[in-house]
Structure formats: structure tokens, C-alpha cells
């Protein structure tokens, strides 16, 4: 079968700006590329284009990152077919093609920066920008190899259509990514140190982010058939270097506050700013509107939720009482208007209280008694399987996911300043932060058989999220063998819910079918945590193989002159 990679030529005149100075781009589309990009202004503009490509990958609905997992399933609007894995999910899937194409456009933009960096007018940032482009290129290849396995490995700029691209092995792509991040994290790199990426430089690729993704790349390769014997050891070592003896101390909820987007725990993020958007209702991102149920129209003065991906009951059940990440993740008290939580919570009555499953009748009454003026008229919906809906009828959690106001929405990505638009958020999208680096180290230690170090990492992470009077200490016995990986996945869900990692987490650890589907897989009974009635047979393609990797897009196959193999299951 044939296979191609859709590549963009130089994106001259691409106009998309961000909140930091490094995303301010000049449009010089009337100037020949060779002349424009060999000037300081033009080269800076080209670097901006490369960074802007991240918005194409992350700005819309995260079907390839979150759909069809144990943590998110269909809401009122339902999920795209990519989230149900049946016969309609094939090589023509538009969500897969968009992601695939966006990544390769980003790679081409990065290659253009590298190409012109060797001839452009010299400046104090020329070598830095070349390494930033290499970082972006390596990052896109990290995403592609996770989703598709082997892909074309392009390291040169194309200024005309090239229709023959051989597909490299996943092993070679992994090695390229690891080699790039290794050099970019080293003393020889021209990337900024993390301590210097503040103010107008915040959001730039930096050495600490390179260490983080180097650790993640080693961790992911460690699960592959071509893994090297020291992959997990290297994952742990580079994660420790990225951690740099820093403890997570910022209150969990404040890590995600739109008023605290340059905090010390964030290594790297996609940048947005209302001042830089041409249309506030269209040019932002969707992250705040994705994970929950529909909250009514503009007249309700709530955020515009898409109703695409509802948090599953499994996600709620993973939390235990005393874990402050639960309140930091979910909007449990929905006031008269949604954003009153941020602006006037002390005076706005609560319409819905989404009670944690551990709260019984006496605890709920005690909650009302704490502030009867604002709470007595609240409709209480318990986040458990059998409960009452907002109309007072007994129903199930699954049914509430399709009901307006039915279940708690994820609030950690909220942008209280945005307009009533699904695509209008200016909240930065976090791609690397300290909390995840701790979990990368912990997972690597589990795979190395060092439960003591794994437990130490989890317990350090939990110190900032444990309520006074509770003990959430993890024992070494919980972090041994395959059960230890299950625990790590549970902890990643609690810490990272909605942060665009989950599908890759399940795929990496071999838990995708086991956690999501209903039936038997590899001799084990599946857990069916996803409520979209996905069956094990839905993962099986016409060739009898499981659909674990994403399909190479049909359009790409038809355009390429090279003969390469489609992924199993498609």
C-alpha cells in the first residue's frame, strides 16, 4: 500500500500570535521568502510560525489524546468515531488525519527555521532559535511515534511538493527523538535554562522541558519490543534531573489558575492571549469547554461546554476523601452563574452541588448547614452510580452524562475572562509540568523494581494535596510489578485528568483495551471503565489485528509514491 506525508512549504504570511513577545509575527507576504527569512525580522517571524503550529495540534477537540479512554466518554453531543473504535473508525478518520497533518506541518515549519538559521542574518538568538526548532521537531516526532509507530523521518526543508517518503521504523524514530532531546538538554545546547524563561520568554522550549521529554521518551521506548536494557534507568535519571530536587509546593488549584500561568512548576506550555487574537470567540482554544456536560446557552451565563467528553464514573472513583485534587479538578459547587465561583462565591447562591461519592446524607446536610443562605436550595447530585438527577428522579451516572447539568465538569482549565464560545479560551495549555515529571520517575522506578523510590516520589507529590487530618501515604507494596503500573495509571489520572496524556498512557502500558472495553482480552476480563459500550471486538480490524496504533490516513497513502505498510487493524 502507498503512504505519504502531507507537508507544508514555508508558511509565509501565517498570522497567529501569542501572549509573549516571541509570538509577535510580522506579515511580510509581499517579500520573497529567501530574502525575508534571511533577515532578523523574517527569521523571528519564521520561528513564530513554528511555535504557532502547536495551536493546530492542541487548540481544538483532543480526540486523539482523550477520546475512547477510561477517563472520558460520550456526553450530550457524543464522541467522534475515534472514541468508539468500531468499523466506522478507519483510515479515513478526519480527526486522525488532522492530527497527522498538523504534526507534519509543524515539523516542516521547524525544518524551515533550521534551514534558514544557517544563512540568515546573525543575531544573539540565531543559534537559540535553531535549537528551539529542533526541540519542536523532536516533540512532534515523539507524538507521532506514540500514535502511529514508525513514520517518515524528515529533517530537511521542502520548498516544493515531495511525494515519496519512506516510512522509517518506530525504533529509528525513537532513537532520533532521544538523540535530539539528549543534545538539547545538554550543556552544549543553546536552549534557555528554565530559570531564564520568564516574562516575554515564558513558553519557549528550554533545557528543563527537554529533560522532561527525554525522560518520557525513554519511558515510552522501555515498553516497546525493541527497548534497550537501560531505558527505564535513563527515564528515571533524566526525570530526576528535570525535577532538580524541587518539591511540588504550589496549591494544586493554583497550578492551573489563569492568573498564575507563569508559575515555577510549569516547564512548557502553548501560549495564548486575548490581546493577540483577532477574534476572541474563534481564535482561542477549546480546553475549558471539553470535559463535562452541557450547561445551557448564553442566557445561563455559564461557560459554553461542548458536551463531547464527559468524565467517567471511574475517574470520580479513583479519588478518595482527603485528596484536594478532587476539588481542584472538578467544579463541585455550581453557583447561580458558573463563573461566580471565581468572582463572587460568597454571595451567589449555589444551584447544583455535585457531592463526592463518599458524602452521605448527614455530611450533605452538614454542608448545607455551613451556609444555609447560599446552599439550602441547591440541588444535590451525588457522583456515584445510582443517584438522583436534577429533577429528583433516580438514574445512573451514565445517563446523567447526557443530561444538562447532569455531572460535575472539570474546572482546572477554566478561563473566567473568556466569551461564551467553545473556542474562545485564552488559557495556556500546559504540556510539561513538575507534577508529571514526578510520575514519570515513579513509573520508571516501578519498572526497575525499585518500589521504595517509586513510593517516595508519589508521597512527595501527595504532600501538597492531602487535607489536614488525612493520611494518603502510599506503601511500597502498592508499587510492585504490574499492580504497580496500575497504581501509577490511577495516580496519573488523579494528577493529570484532562491534560491530554491519557490515550498515550494506556497505549504505552498496554492497558488500552483492558481498561476501556467490555469482554476478554489476552485472557483477562476487561474493566469496561468507558460507558460508551465499547466491546473488545470493536478493536479488531478486518485483518484480525487489534487497532492499537492509529491508522495512517488514507489521503496520505494515496498521495505517496512509496509502498509502505498500513498499521495493523486497518
Q: Is residue 231 part of a domain?
A: no
Q: Is it the case that residue 273 has pLDDT exceeding 90?
A: no
Give the integer Cα–Cα distance in Å for 154 and 315. 39
pLDDT tens-digit map of 16-69: 223 344 444 444 456 677 889 999 999 999 999 999 999 999 999 999 999 999
The number of helix segments (H) and strand segments (E) in the chain equals 21, 13
- Please choose, from the candidates 339, 288, 338, the residue with its C-alpha nearest in 3D space to the C-alpha of residue 59: 288
Q: Is residue 331 part of a domain?
A: yes
For residue 351, the surrounding DSSP H or E stretch is strand 350-355
More confident residue, 101 or 390: 101
Q: Is residue 366 part of a domain?
A: yes
Tell me what the mean pLDDT of segment 75-88 comes to. 95
pLDDT tens-digit map of 529-541: 999 999 999 999 9
Q: Is residue 548 part of a domain?
A: no
Beta bridge partners of 410: 330
Q: Sign of torsion, CA 246 249 253 257?
A: negative
Q: Which domain holds residue 324?
A: 275-427
- Please choose, from the candidates 316, 495, 337, the residue with its C-alpha nearest in 3D space to the C-alpha of residue 407: 316
Q: What share of the chain in percent tops pLDDT 90? A: 84
Q: Is it the case that residue 244 has pLDDT exceeding 90?
A: yes
More confident residue, 390 or 211: 211
Cell, residue 227: 527497548
Strand 333-335 and strand 350-355: the pairing is antiparallel
Per-residue pLDDT at 20 = 45
Beta bridge partners of 563: 2
Q: Is it the case that residue 15 has pLDDT exceeding 70?
A: no
pLDDT tens-digit map of 275-306: 777 887 788 999 999 999 999 999 999 999 99
Cell, residue 568: 495493523
Q: Sign of torsion, CA 559 561 564 565?
A: positive
Q: Is residue 249 part of a domain?
A: no
- Please choose, from the candidates 327, 344, 309, the residue with its C-alpha nearest in 3D space to the C-alpha of residue 500: 309
- Give this prediction's pTM: 0.93
Tell me what the mean pLDDT of segment 203-216 comes to. 98
Q: Is residue 452 part of a domain?
A: no
Per-residue pLDDT at 31 = 67
Q: How many domains in the chain? A: 1
Cell, residue 329: 479538578
Q: Are 341 and 335 in contact (CB under 8 A)?
A: yes
pLDDT tens-digit map of 398-451: 999 999 999 999 999 999 988 899 999 999 999 999 999 999 999 999 999 999
Q: Is residue 169 part of a domain?
A: no
Q: Is residue 338 part of a domain?
A: yes
Give the integer Cα–Cα distance in Å for 292 and 335. 16
Amino acid at each position: 500500500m502507498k503512504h505519504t506525508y502531507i507537508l507544508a512549504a514555508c508558511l509565509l504570511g501565517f498570522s497567529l500570535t501569542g501572549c509573549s513577545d516571541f509570538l509577535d509575527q510580522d506579515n511580510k507576504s509581499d517579500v520573497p521568502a529567501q530574502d525575508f527569512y534571511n533577515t532578523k525580522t523574517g527569521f523571528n517571524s519564521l520561528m513564530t510560525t513554528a511555535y504557532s503550529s502547536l495551536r493546530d495540534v492542541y487548540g481544538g477537540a483532543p480526540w486523539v489524546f482523550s477520546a475512547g479512554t477510561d477517563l472520558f466518554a460520550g456526553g450530550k453531543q457524543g464522541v467522534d468515531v475515534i472514541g468508539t473504535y468500531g468499523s466506522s473508525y478507519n483510515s479515513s478518520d478526519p480527526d486522525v488525519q488532522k492530527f497527522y497533518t498538523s504534526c507534519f506541518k509543524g515539523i516542516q515549519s521547524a525544518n524551515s527555521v533550521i534551514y534558514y538559521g544557517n544563512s540568515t542574518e546573525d543575531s544573539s538568538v540565531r543559534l537559540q532559535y535553531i535549537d528551539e526548532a529542533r526541540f519542536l521537531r523532536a516533540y512532534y516526532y515523539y507524538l507521532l511515534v506514540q500514535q502511529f509507530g514508525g513514520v517518515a523521518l524528515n529533517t530537511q526543508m521542502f520548498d516544493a511538493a515531495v511525494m515519496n517518503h519512506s516510512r522509517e521504523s518506530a525504533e529509528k524514530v525513537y532513537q532520533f527523538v532521544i538523540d535530539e532531546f539528549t543534545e538539547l538538554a545538554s550543556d552544549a545546547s543553546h536552549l534557555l535554562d528554565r530559570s531564564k524563561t520568564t516574562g516575554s520568554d515564558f513558553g519557549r522550549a528550554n533545557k528543563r522541558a527537554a529533560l522532561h521529554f527525554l525522560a518520557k521518551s525513554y519511558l515510552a521506548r522501555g515498553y516497546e519490543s525493541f527497548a534497550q536494557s537501560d531505558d527505564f534507568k535513563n527515564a528515571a535519571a533524566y526525570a530526576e534531573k528535570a525535577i532538580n530536587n524541587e518539591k511540588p509546593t504550589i496549591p494544586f488549584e493554583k497550578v492551573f489558575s489563569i492568573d498564575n500561568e507563569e508559575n515555577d512548576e510549569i516547564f512548557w506550555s502553548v501560549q495564548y492571549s486575548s490581546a493577540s487574537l483577532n477574534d476572541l470567540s474563534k481564535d482561542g482554544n477549546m480546553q475549558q469547554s471539553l470535559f463535562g456536560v452541557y450547561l445551557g446557552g448564553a442566557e445561563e451565563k455559564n461557560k459554553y461546554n461542548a458536551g463531547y467528553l464527559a468524565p467517567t464514573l471511574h475517574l470520580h472513583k479513583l479519588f478518595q476523601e482527603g485528596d484536594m485534587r478532587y476539588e481542584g479538578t472538578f467544579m463541585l459547587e455550581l453557583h447561580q452563574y458558573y463563573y461566580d465561583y471565581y468572582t463572587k462565591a460568597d454571595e451567589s447562591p449555589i444551584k447544583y452541588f455535585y457531592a463526592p461519592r463518599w458524602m452521605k446524607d448527614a455530611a450533605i446536610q452538614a454542608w448545607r448547614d455551613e451556609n444555609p443562605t447560599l446552599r439550602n436550595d441547591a440541588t444535590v447530585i451525588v457522583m456515584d452510580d445510582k443517584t438522583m438527577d436534577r429533577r429528583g428522579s433516580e438514574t445512573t451516572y451514565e445517563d446523567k452524562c447526557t443530561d444538562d447539568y447532569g455531572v460535575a465538569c472539570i474546572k482546572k482549565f477554566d478561563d473566567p475572562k473568556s466569551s461564551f464560545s467553545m473556542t474562545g479560551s485564552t488559557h495556556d495549555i500546559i504540556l510539561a509540568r513538575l507534577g508529571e515529571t514526578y510520575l514519570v520517575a515513579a513509573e520508571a522506578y516501578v519498572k526497575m523494581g525499585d518500589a521504595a523510590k517509586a513510593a517516595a516520589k508519589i508521597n512527595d507529590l501527595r504532600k501538597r494535596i492531602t487535607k489536614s487530618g488525612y493520611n494518603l501515604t502510599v506503601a511500597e507494596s502498592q508499587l510492585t510489578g504490574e499492580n504497580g503500573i496500575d497504581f501509577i495509571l490511577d495516580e496519573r489520572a488523579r494528577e493529570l485528568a484532562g491534560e491530554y496524556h491519557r490515550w498515550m498512557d494506556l497505549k504505552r502500558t498496554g492497558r488500552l483495551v483492558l481498561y476501556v472495553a467490555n469482554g476478554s482480552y489476552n485472557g483477562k476480563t476487561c474493566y469496561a471503565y468507558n460507558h460508551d459500550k465499547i466491546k473488545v471486538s470493536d478493536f479488531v480490524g478486518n485483518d484480525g489485528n487489534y487497532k492499537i496504533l492509529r491508522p495512517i490516513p488514507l489521503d496520505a497513502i494515496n498521495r505517496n509514491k512509496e509502498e509502505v505498510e498500513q498499521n495493523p487493524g486497518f
